[in-house]
Chain A
């Protein structure tokens, strides 16, 4: 679905991404993890075409995304910090998004919208919403247009436990539909039952990209946070997981 070929991105002298190559297929849930400033959000924004890599190319369905915008119609994106026009109410915002996406009003996924009870506060302006509620709006917009790819940047940060569970349930549902889902998070425990793949970024390079089963079997740890901690202690076996296994 998404193929990344050798992309690098530099902000001034600092490399945010360094020669990243990877491929994300359908039926995969990729947990994108790594310390702060390791390039997770930059990578996501490159995929969306919000940030332009200095080198390398990204392909969506085997077509380069440079210069095209239509691939974004198939991606649902939930930003880390959702920023919306202050004066707009939730109702106006959703109406506008439907209008801009030229989506069919009858073919809209309002499940999250209902589950979060956003209908009750539909007329509140975005300015007056709390950070968590804004995050809920972001989540609704990401899932609203039945995209084939979901890109979720720290989806549960700032959500209360109940909403967090609702969102996780929704992600699992979409996973069952065979979508490609990319999630970044610092809460590794919640990725355990979602992820099929793990990508660990550090200082803009991929230290690990492997299936969850491989990570579990190599480390012998069932929980992702323990497995990652162990891999970090062993410095990721210098990037060669299978050497350890043999």
Chain B
């Protein structure tokens, strides 16, 4: 598998989008730390940007890359290489490069300005989100033959997780405001990897104290062993399940 990933990685590194992504993250992180006097505020703004940008780029880039690499995939499929190895190499190649871009772009400035538990958790969440959304991106592109449709679906998924999902939860909260729904919203929001990442980082910050009763419930739950286990399992499932579906679909695909 590594020998194929190696070819894919050496090709992606020359990709302009990856370079632009790295530079963008680097500029934003550097800029935020320069503008804000309070490092905590800078990290919070950075968190919001990362939660939007990382899923978007991971999803769309992995989908586009799969379509652009279809020639390579077709060539491999006619060679003595198993289908699982081909799609896994694609996945590891793309994900590895995206993670590197993220760690270089955000990690280096963070190391200079603010290196503590909070920023470490921020970097960790970014890496996990990259893996999850690259996995979903692969599932989308393997299952839809048409490039335009695949990228459309990828964008819809990003839109759903970043905006629509939170909106729906707020709506639900509003409608059920007469009932004690803290536990319910807690479970609901932890089903969304983006929200989970947000909570994970926020709880490491001082701002969690400002979130009032909800913040307290969250801290109670996610601070506990069960909570960590639960959120960890949700994240692992989000990364593994789409990938397994993608592998399965790829193994049955006709070329």
Contacts and interface: CB of A to CB of B under 8 A. Distances in A.
Interface in A92-126: 96-97, 99-101
A77 interface: yes
Contact of B7 (A51, A73, A79, A96): A96
B77 interface: yes
Interface stretch (B52-60, B79-87, B167-175): B79-87
Determine the interface band of chain B, counting residues with CB < 8 A from chain A: 20 to 34
A156 to B, nearest CB: 20
Given A85-B69, A86-B71, A101-B79, A50 B11 contact: no
A73 B69 contact: no
Given A83-B71, A84-B75, A70 B80 contact: yes
Given A72-B79, A85-B69, A51 B11 contact: no
A85 B4 contact: no
B3 A72 contact: no
A48 interface: yes
A59 interface: no
Given A96-B7, A99-B3, A52 B14 contact: no
B255 A85 contact: no
A97 B79 contact: yes
Nearest to B74: A83
A51 B255 contact: yes
Nearest to B84: A69
Contacts of A83: 70-71, 74-75
Contacts of A88: 11
Nearest to B253: A52
A45 interface: yes
A36 interface: no
A79 B255 CA distance: 12
A73 B74 contact: no
A69 B72 contact: no
Given A50-B255, A87-B11, A69 B80 contact: yes
B252 interface: yes
Contacts of A72: 78-80
Contacts of B220: none
Contacts, number: 51
A85 B78 contact: no
Give the interface SS of chain B, mostly helix, strand, loop or mixed: helix
B80 A50 contact: no
A58 to B, nearest CB: 14
Q: Which of B75, B81, B252 has the most chain A CB atoms inside 10 A of its CB? A: B75
B37 interface: no
A72 B83 CA distance: 12
A155 to B, nearest CB: 15
Contacts of B75: 83-85
Nearest to B70: A83
B254 interface: yes
A175 B19 CA distance: 50
Interface string A32-58: 000000000000010010111000000
B76 interface: yes
Contact of B72 (A73, A79, A85): A85
A85 B14 contact: no
Given A50-B255, A85-B69, A86-B71, A101 B80 contact: yes
Contacts of B71: 83-86
Contacts of A85: 11, 69, 71-72, 75
A230 B11 CA distance: 53
B14 A100 contact: no
Given A51-B254, A52-B252, A84-B71, A100 B78 contact: no
Interface string A66-85: 00011111000101000111
A-B pairs, top 4 by smallest CB distance, nearest first, are A73-B80, A83-B71, A72-B80, A51-B254
Given A72-B79, A100-B76, 7 more contacts: A51-B254, A71-B80, A83-B71, A83-B75, A85-B11, A86-B71, A88-B11
16 contacts: A50-B78, A51-B254, A70-B80, A71-B80, A72-B78, A72-B80, A77-B78, A83-B71, A84-B71, A84-B72, A87-B11, A87-B14, A97-B79, A100-B3, A101-B79, A101-B80
